[in-house]
Chains A and B, each alone.
Chain A
Amino acid sequence: MNYIIPQSELKIVGTRPVRPDGVDKVTGRATFGADMTLAGMIWGKMLRSPHAHARIISIDTSKALALPGVRAVVTAADFPDIASEEAFVGEGPMNFRDLSRNCLARDKVLYEGHAVAAVAAASQSVAEAALELIDVTYEVLPHVIDVEAAMAAGAPILHEDMFTVGIEPKPTKPSNVAKRVAFAKGDAEAGFREADVIVEGRYTTQPVHQAYIEPHACLAQVAADGQAHIYSSTQGQFMVRAYCAKVLGWEIADIRSYPMEIGGGFGGKTLVYLEPVALALARKAGRPVKMVMTREEVFRASGPTSGAVIEVKLGARRDGTIVAAREVLKYQAGAFAGSPIGPGCMCGFAMYDLPNVDVVGYDVVSNRPKVAAYRAPGAPITSFAVESAMDDLARKLKIDPIALREMNGARDGSKTHYGVTHRDIGFLATLEAARSHPHYSAPLKPGQGRGVACGFWFNIGGESSGAVHVNEDGSISVVSGNPDIGGSRASMAMMAAEVLGVPIEHVRPIVGDTASIGFSHLTGGSRVTFATGMAVTQAAERVVDQLKQRAAQIWEIPPEAVEWKDGKAYPAGLNAGAFEPLTLAQIALKAGRTGGPISSEVTLNAQGAGPGFGCHICDVEVDRETGHVKILRYTAVQDVGKAIHPSYVEGQIQGGAAQGIGWALNEEYIYDKDGKMENAGFLDYRVPVASDLPLIEAVMVEVPNPRHPFGVRGVGEVPIVPPMAAVANAIRAATGLRMPDLPISPPKLRAALDAAAGAKAA
């Protein structure tokens, strides 16, 4: 592919301008979901189940409705009862009936915190008082939390109509296993017989939350004719519009969805919780309704990612060639089916070229909040297991861990175990950069250990729209429809500015609402710089074509005789005529006379997203008295395609690594015997803080993706995939202990250290 501009001639792409929304963000002016107000606004609050599993016998809202100040009450009875309808709606399989029942429970509550009813009232305190007056009669049922317990015979069944898909013959009894998936290549059994060395492990991970600092928030307003406005902090305003329309039974065109600034999503805001309820309340009350989750509600009622049990077996020849690999994964879906078991089965071995592979996965429901996507959904869990096993294998074979991966690493033309051949990938380049980085050979002190682990993510393309408008003074507006969660609007402006040849200060990007720009698939899947960038780039190219045509009209020469360079139109060669170059401003001034506004909107469904690979190096020091693990040094290497704005690419790498470190060391849901979450707050749900981490070096390897005009490859998700195993492998190196159960929190590590010391003494 010919990149649109030779890499050596890029003037703006690859630099680090200050982001256009930056001043608003550092002064507190930026408007997030909960910052939005409208005249006459009232407050909505949600009543949530205190039980992990129960049948709803009755709901009596009469006393709540009678409380002065209460304007509306809704329950599932106010939503149409949707038949089971599966659609792949962006970030994973989504059944709209399940989504509707997750927003407001119907018939049964399936987790502590499950929404049962909602109230809109004149003030927050009246709304809270009204919740107390709603009488719900429950028939409490036995509950099940743990994934293997949910799979066991005799486990309490969540859905009487769930029969495991993917098992032959078809089961006749309902179970909590929604589906079984399997991938196979070659003959794993035969491969294991050939192996000189075998390594096996059983690993467990706990559900962890995306833990965005901003709780879910929205403001809904519905006019008497049914036309609605919804302002929310979301990863996809078009998704909000579509999901609300589906759940409420309204027409999509009647809903205008505004993307407020969003305080973190990481996949957790790729669906709706409050919005359909707020809209229903707003319609009933005839007033705008604001709903904001408390931090407790975020933990109790919005999707974490799966907890899991993973078993891995690797077989290799003495020279390090892996001849067989097997993996069994059991992923928790939470209350409704839909864990990321598919990607989980595909990602663990995706970076290796293996002849014989056998992977089986199970999607299992249990009485926990429905899982939502979390940055490379499914991949961190499987890679924790596989990369820990790879580390054990390297140690058994006495081969350097990076060398082992290089030996078996996927390259252009390697066929994965799920049948797809890798093309134009950067895994080996990433490994080489890691191996030759000074961190890898830096000396360690006693009690310190170094671990290495790798990761992979597909990255997606999808539908995007981008518009470029030339304003009357020659300045440029770029409009796209993707909420900016990591600096993408700056990248949109940079790509447009590069194509137009103008300084970045003259190009202002905005994120439009659903009525202001064409459809865009949501922000997620590491797709925006790739797919929306592609749309914006194409729109900018079409604007350049128009500018050349207008110049041609002004000069009265054929359009082919006009060149565009550095933001100006030039006659192409002496034969075209001795005209002074025309600036954007000069052409814009004549836009009306030369045909009308100069503008282009491109819509596309971007294909050819390139996968990304990462290799992380982690040094730890373990305090044997407390079990505390200190991260001494962390280097994250990743192939990033082409970094449009390197600071934001580095930011994605550093942020993903930090989340993975938290997942490895501290984060987990802790449940009591009644299935209620005990640590639903940031004090006891421990995410990394500034004093937990060192500076994180992000090393960007640029292996361009030939299917994007600037070579862009998605970058946001890969960096969360390697850290858990990198940390676990470092702990193994420092202590001699393999810790297969996450999180490796101080009490757990201390207990393991004690047990090992006791075993030694005995």
Chain B
Amino acid sequence: MPHVVFSGSDAGRFTGGRTELEVTATTFRRLVRELDERFPGLGERVEVGMAVAIDGVIYQDAYAAPLAEGSEIVLIPKIGGG
């Protein structure tokens, strides 16, 4: 089961403080849905406001980003720029 880490404190208010989860989702899209099922509102928060770093590569707005067992999967605040 892919292991997901929430970086920062954005997710805590949905998960009751938990920052690490095992999930069944294998893509970012499925992750969003799974998070919404388990913690209502979290999935949308992740989809709109977070990026996912998989083994160090940052994916932003990518439903197909693959989550695999054994990967380092970290959800971080979305990045912009100026």
Contacts and interface: CB of A to CB of B under 8 A. Distances in A.
Nearest to A270: B82
Contact of A717 (B5, B7, B9, B81): B81
A605 B77 CA distance: 18
Q: Is the interface of B mostly helix, strand, loop or mixed?
A: loop
B10 A166 contact: yes
B78 interface: yes
- What bracket does the count of chain A residues touching chain B fall in? 35 or more
Contacts of B81: 91, 267, 373, 376-377, 457-460, 524-527, 714, 717
A461 B57 CA distance: 11
Interface string A144-175: 00000000000000000000011010100000
A374 B82 contact: yes
Contacts of A87: 48
B8 A605 contact: no
A423 B78 contact: no
Interface in A438-459: 457-459
Contacts of A375: 82
Interface in A370-419: 372-377, 418-419
Contact of A346 (B13, B48, B49, B76): B76
A90 interface: yes
A421 B72 CA distance: 8
B82 A373 contact: yes
Contacts of B65: 607
Question: Which of B5, B49, B57, B80 gathers most chain A CB within 10 Å?
Answer: B80
Contacts of A533: none
Interface in B21-77: 48-49, 53, 55-62, 65, 72, 74, 76-77
Interface in A57-98: 86-88, 90-93
Interface in A86-119: 86-88, 90-93
A345 interface: yes
A462 B8 CA distance: 23
B62 to A, nearest CB: 6
A210 B81 CA distance: 13
A170 B55 CA distance: 34
B57 A524 contact: no
Contacts of B61: 462-463, 605
A457 to B, nearest CB: 8
A623 B81 CA distance: 37
Main secondary structure of the interface of A (DSSP, over half): loop
Contacts of A345: 8
B18 to A, nearest CB: 13
Given A607-B59, A607-B60, A524 B82 contact: yes
A420 interface: yes
Interface stretch (A178-186, A328-336, A688-696, A743-751): A178-186
B58 A183 contact: no
A165 B60 contact: no
A301 interface: no
Contact of B60 (A182, A210, A460): A460
A421 B9 contact: no
B80 A91 contact: yes
B53 A419 contact: yes
Interface in A628-659: none
A460 B80 contact: yes
B9 A180 contact: yes
Contacts of A166: 9-10, 12-13
Contact of B57 (A168, A266, A419, A423): A423
A342 interface: yes
A283 interface: no
B77 A420 contact: no
Contacts of B60: 460-462, 607
Given A88-B49, A183-B7, A423 B80 contact: no
Interface string A421-436: 1110000000000000
25 contacts: A87-B48, A91-B80, A92-B80, A166-B9, A180-B9, A181-B9, A182-B9, A183-B7, A210-B82, A267-B82, A270-B82, A340-B80, A342-B78, A345-B8, A377-B81, A419-B53, A420-B58, A457-B81, A461-B60, A463-B61, A524-B80, A525-B80, A607-B62, A608-B57, A609-B58
Interface of B: 5, 7-10, 12-13, 17, 48-49, 53, 55-62, 65, 72, 74, 76-82
Interface of A: 86-88, 90-93, 165-166, 168, 170, 180-183, 210, 266-268, 270, 340, 342-343, 345-346, 372-377, 418-423, 457-463, 524-527, 605, 607-609, 707, 714, 717
Given A210-B82, A372-B82, 16 more contacts: A91-B80, A91-B82, A92-B80, A166-B13, A170-B13, A180-B9, A181-B77, A183-B9, A340-B80, A345-B8, A418-B7, A419-B7, A419-B76, A420-B7, A527-B81, A607-B65
